[in-house]
Amino acid sequence: MKILAIETSCDETAIAILECEGDEKNARFTVLGNALFSQIEIHKEYGGVFPALAKREHAKNLVPILEAALEEAELLHEDTQTIPEEKHEKIATILSREPGLIEAFFAFIGECEPPPIDAIAVTTGPGLEPALWVGVNFAKALAVLWEKPLIAVNHMEGHLLAALASRKQISSQTDQSMFAIFDVRMPVLALLVSGGHTELVHMREWLTYELIGQTRDDAVGEAFDKVARMLGLPYPGGPEISRLAEIARETQRKNPYVLPRPMLHDATCDFSFAGLKTSVLYLLRDTLNIREEDKRYIAREFEDAVVDVLWGKTARALNMTDTQTLVIGGGVSANTHIRRVFTEKIKNEYPHITLCLSIDLLATDNAIMIAFAGFYHALRNNFSTPDSLTVNGNRSLA
């Protein structure tokens, strides 16, 4: 099955085309084409993602990204196509709120043959609703034009499945990537950490989820970005905090700063990072003449506090469940210290549990993971139509 996947939940415009085979217990994915445009440089001056600007950039970039993915997959065949009037009118209605996209769409589609794909998967939430709608409307337009079924994908489910995927080398003669999800020991506990989410989700059976814990205020990625702004660091803040923290750790000196570990010892698996963020604000307010060295140690203490809380809550969830596989997914899962601490803790304290971490290519937002989730839902015939597909910026996985 060939799946074209579209991801526009935040500030990455991504499209991937995958050849998908197998079943839930043994799935194989060959990446035929993969194109992504990051808006990080555009949003830097705002210190975070500006939704209206993200929406505009998605509308501007979706057609070029589609063309690049089709070309890489060798599925781009130029030929003048006449779009029936009925389809033209329906597509025009679907894209009526995307004036920058509609013109580019018809210009491109009128000059290429329909590619041999079987379905179109698209992120429908969670995320920024204006950004999500651009991708969903684009997917609807393609589905009408090419007469293909649609698959609604939960963005966080994509992150979970991406962490379960291992990379396989096809051959030295090709640049294609192959991924496989196989021999997953159930049940799975997933720690999903991103700019908008911090949650622990239990998957006892494929695609069946139970929420074990979640943040009561700020998501961990949001806290990283806000603390980075307090320290005068550029956006995105997470990698900058991590970079300074690693420099401080290399000195092997005692950290002169101490921050709280919110909710670490309470009886739930919930998180809270707003208080920790506020503690950094007060620390900076009360500390005179902040030097670059001070920033490094504050970054280290903040990151240490975050990871202590993430591990403490995850360990509590592991003790409450019969988990056999622990997954860490989402953009924040790329954090070096999180990976180091969780690897050591699982090895030393829970050696019977398999730890799965996303490879770098799949840790941040991408369309490959959306295709993974799309395939699993296609196996169950969980398809949508253009008329039924909608967006939910707060869509929950469990």
CB 146 within 8 A of CB 286: no
What is the pLDDT confidence band of residue 315, given thresholds at 50, 70 and 90? very high
Going by C-alpha positions, the residue among 371, 368, 367 that lies closest to residue 7 is 367
Range 47-52 average pLDDT: 82
In CATH, 2-165+365-379 is 1.10.240.10: no
Look at residue 226 in the predicted model and tell me its pLDDT.
94
What is the pLDDT confidence band of residue 82, given thresholds at 50, 70 and 90? confident
Distance CA(318)–CA(369), nearest Å, equals 25
**Number of neighbours of residue 299 by Cβ within 10 angstroms:** 27
Look at residue 170 in the predicted model and tell me its pLDDT.
58
How does DSSP classify residue 113?
Answer: P
* Contacts of the segment 47-52: beta carbons below 8 A, 24+ positions apart: 47/225, 47/229, 47/235, 48/225, 48/235, 49/10, 49/11, 49/128, 49/195, 51/128, 51/130, 51/131, 52/130
Res. 47: pLDDT tops 90: no
Going by C-alpha positions, the residue among 190, 304, 180 that lies closest to residue 241 is 304
Rg (C-alpha) for the chain, rounded Å, is 22
Distance CA(235)–CA(237), nearest Å, equals 5
Res. 281: pLDDT tops 60: yes
Q: What is the pairing mode between strands 2-7 and 208-214?
A: unpaired
The pTM score is: 0.95
Q: What is the pLDDT of residues 208-266, one digit of tens each?
A: 999 999 999 999 999 999 999 999 999 889 999 999 999 999 998 899 999 999 999 99
Look at residue 174 in the predicted model and tell me its pLDDT.
53
Q: What percent of the chain has pLDDT over 70?
A: 98
Name the region of 219 (left: φ>0; alpha: ψ -120 to 50; beta: rest): beta
Q: First CA to last CA across the chain, in angstroms? A: 27
Fold of the CATH domain 185-357: Nucleotidyltransferase; domain 5 (3.30.420)
Residue boundaries of the structural domains of the chain: 2-165+365-379, 185-357
How does DSSP classify residue 84?
Answer: P
Q: What percent of the chain has pLDDT over 90?
A: 85
CB 38 within 8 A of CB 113: no
Look at residue 98 in the predicted model and tell me its pLDDT.
87
CA torsion 366-372-376-382 (nearest 10°) is 40
Going by C-alpha positions, the residue among 1, 75, 74, 68 that lies closest to residue 34 is 68
**Number of neighbours of residue 178 by Cβ within 10 angstroms:** 18
How does DSSP classify residue 233?
Answer: P
Decide: residue 289, CB within 10 A, 0-12 exposed, 13-18 middle, 19+ buried. Answer: exposed
Q: What is the pairing mode between strands 177-182 and 26-38?
A: antiparallel
CB 300 within 8 A of CB 244: yes
Distance CA(121)–CA(149), nearest Å, equals 9
Distance CA(5)–CA(140), nearest Å, equals 12
Q: Give the residue with greater pLDDT, 357 vs 252.
A: 357
Same topology between domain 2-165+365-379 and domain 185-357: yes
What is the pLDDT confidence band of residue 175, given thresholds at 50, 70 and 90? low
Range 5-15 average pLDDT: 96
